[in-house]
Chains A and B, each alone.
Chain A
Amino acid sequence: MSERVAVIGTGQTKHAAKRDDVSIAGLVREAALRALEDAGLGWADIDAVVIGKAPDMFEGVMMPELYLAPALGAVGKPIMRVHTAGSVGGSTALVAAHLVTSGIHDRVLTVAFEKQSDSDAMWALSVPQPFSAPLLAGAGGYFAPHIRAYMRRSGAPGHIGMQVAVKDRLQALKNPYAHLHLPDISIEMVEQSVMLWDPLHYLEACPSSDGAAAMVLGSEQAAAAAQVDTGRRPAWVHGMAMRSEPTMFAGRDQINPRAGRECAADVYRQAGVTDPRRDFDCAEVYVPFSWYEPMWLENLGFCDEGDGWKLTDAGSTSMDGGDIPWNCSGGVLSSNPIGASGMLRFLEAAMQVRGEAGEHQVDGTRRALAQAYGGGSQFFAMWVVGTDKP
């Protein structure tokens, strides 16, 4: 029998193209201090730290967790690093949560970051490999062909991706921490932006951001104490799971990966979710390229295969009148500090459940889903958080 775990504090940086006012250490510390303050705790109250980021090649700082230990109050305490490419922020939160459910620790600080202005992710993702032709052109070049295949398979009309691009940017206007604030965003503006990786326009892709996310995860006892101290309720974790599959195998469905479907089935079973569209009040899902919204709607079982684009088209995923708002924070399309992007999904879902999401709050949220994916759509991390103690 495992212990219960809850989110008792959240913190994030103002995400921006270039945070040249802080170093990497300053960036992670800014998010961590906000999470501690939110939880009503100090550094001394933390038992262990779990940190995640995208591959070291990005900033060229090898094993940054070692250098960051003092900035995160981790000197003399257990600190560990998690690696699962773009999904890492989600996986990092899950590893931290397991340190509580296993009964080992009461209060764990978990942090994820990327400082893209110190790095060149496009280059790091496109380094020539031995004996290969140098064809890969960043993440967009990898995912665009899968998007085209989705469009062909589902028969989705071409404007769906642009709709997501507009919807998430409009929602980002309600989130003061979001990197992109584009008040004039429109379908025409997206359509007129450069076609970077046909069929993907520039404005259908995520930005490059500097940013960090942090959460304090607590045991049942820690959650009760934090609620008394701060007056803020915890977000209880109702289910959590990770799945992965090989990047390449014959017959692999890269549009609707099996690892994602099985990961969702696992968290839904743990949380008692049978109809995700009805049972969740909102969701934060890793959508770095616009078309991944309809693709993940299907993968996560919010509709039948082939119908994801119809939900997007009908406005069902919009905060503005939709029944299942996705990415009220603006999502990855509005802020992409890569390593932190997955944790921001997990953190934003917790903020919704705690009623702390401010202007982008979905009123009355009782249960929310967070998902992060990474690599060539082969790493998945998810959790379900809710207001009720499980």
Chain B
Amino acid sequence: MAEAREPVTTLDTPIRLEYLFSAGIAQSKNLRGLAEGRFVGQRCPVCSKVYVPSRGSCPVDGVPTDEEVALGNTGTVTTFCVVNVPFAGQSIEIPYIVAQVLLDGADISFMGLIQEIPADQVRMGLRVEAVWVEPDQLGPSMASVKHFRPTGEPDAEYASYKDYT
């Protein structure tokens, strides 16, 4: 006699996609810098803006950005959010702070994890520095930057970063 069972209405079918990714000339320069524990940007010959990471051309002027610019280890939090939502594949313990970090000398901000400060004390204008992984763990990836932490300097003036949020 057939047992009464709940009907099967859905089925999870995990899929896997593997691919080879070519970083290209410009991004490779940036990635090699990260493997050495430093940030490398590129300057546009037309608008003089410094991109980090650079894609090899200026999105505004459409010209190659050949000039390499060595950038320092410090920057400013231009804006941020506190992530408090769990999701599949998450690798960082919540809550965590994701900030837009504008490196000194750069003209575009990128996403960075902020640590070594309580979440409720993070603010726009906070001065931060990159904390790198141990030298033997450095690699051509943003994962070489463990996180950013406060430098202890006074906050940056709003006017200095308001166009980079």
Which residues of A are at the interface with B, using a C-beta cutoff of 8 A?
A: 20, 60, 120, 122-123, 126-128, 130-138, 140-141, 144-146, 148-149, 152-153, 194-200, 246, 248-251, 253-255
Partner of A136, one of B9, B108, B111, B143: B111
Q: Which residue of B lies closest to A149 (CB)?
A: B165
**Are A138 and B85 in contact, with the CB atoms below 8 A?**
yes
Q: Are B158 and A135 in contact (CB under 8 A)?
A: no
The answer to whether B92 touches A134, judged by C-beta atoms less than 8 angstroms apart, is: yes
Say yes or no: A138 contacts B87, CB within 8 Å. yes
Q: A136-B111, A137-B98, A153-B162 are in contact. Are A249 and B59 (CB under 8 A)?
A: yes
Interface size class of B (residues with CB under 8 A): 35 or more
Measured CB to CB, the nearest residue on chain B to A150 is: B165
CA distance A128 to B87 in the complex (A): 13
A248 and B59 in contact, given A145-B79, A153-B162 (Cβ under 8 angstroms)? yes
Shortest Cβ-Cβ A-B pairs, 5 listed? A144-B81, A198-B82, A149-B165, A250-B49, A250-B107
The answer for the CA separation of A60 and B158 in the assembled complex, in Å, is 43
- Cα of A250 to Cα of B105 in the assembled complex, Å: 12
Interface of A (DSSP majority class) = loop
Which residues in A have their C-beta under 8 angstroms from that of B15? 60
B88 located at the interface, meaning its Cβ lies under 8 Å from any Cβ of chain A in the complex: yes
Q: Which residues of B contact A131 (CB under 8 A)?
A: 21, 23, 27, 31, 34, 140-143
- CB of B51 within 8 Å of the partner chain: yes
Is B63 at the interface (CB under 8 A from chain A)?
no
Contact with A along B56-98 (1 / 0, CB 8 A): 0011100000000000000000111111110111111001001
Given contacts A123-B88, A134-B91, A134-B92, whether A141 and B59 have CB atoms under 8 Å apart is no
CB distance from A245 to the nearest CB of B (A): 9
Cross-chain contact A250 with B165 (CB below 8 angstroms): no
Bound complex: CA A133 to CA B83 (Å): 15
Question: Bound complex: CA of A153 vs CA of B23, how far in Å?
Answer: 36
B10 within 8 A of A: yes
Q: Decide yes or no whether B99 CB sits under 8 A from chain A.
A: yes
Could you tell me if A133 and B145 are in contact, using CB atoms closer than 8 angstroms? yes
Query: What are 23 sample pairs from A and B whose C-beta atoms fall under 8 A apart?
Result: A20-B9, A60-B13, A120-B88, A123-B89, A131-B21, A131-B27, A133-B112, A133-B142, A134-B89, A135-B113, A140-B81, A140-B85, A141-B98, A145-B100, A149-B79, A149-B124, A152-B79, A197-B84, A198-B84, A198-B119, A249-B108, A250-B50, A250-B51
Complex Cα spacing A156 to B159, Å: 18
Residue from the list B49, B79, B140 in contact with A251, Cβ < 8 A: B49
How far apart are the CA atoms of A229 and B59 in the complex, in Å? 52
| Chain A, residue nearest B60 (CB) | A249
> Inside 8 A of B78's CB, which chain A residues have their CB?
149
Say yes or no: A195 contacts B143, CB within 8 Å: no
- Is the CB–CB distance between A198 and B81 below 8 Å? yes
A255 contact from B58, B140, B143, B165, Cβ within 8 A: B165
Known: A248-B59, A250-B49. A137 touches B87 (CB 8 A): yes
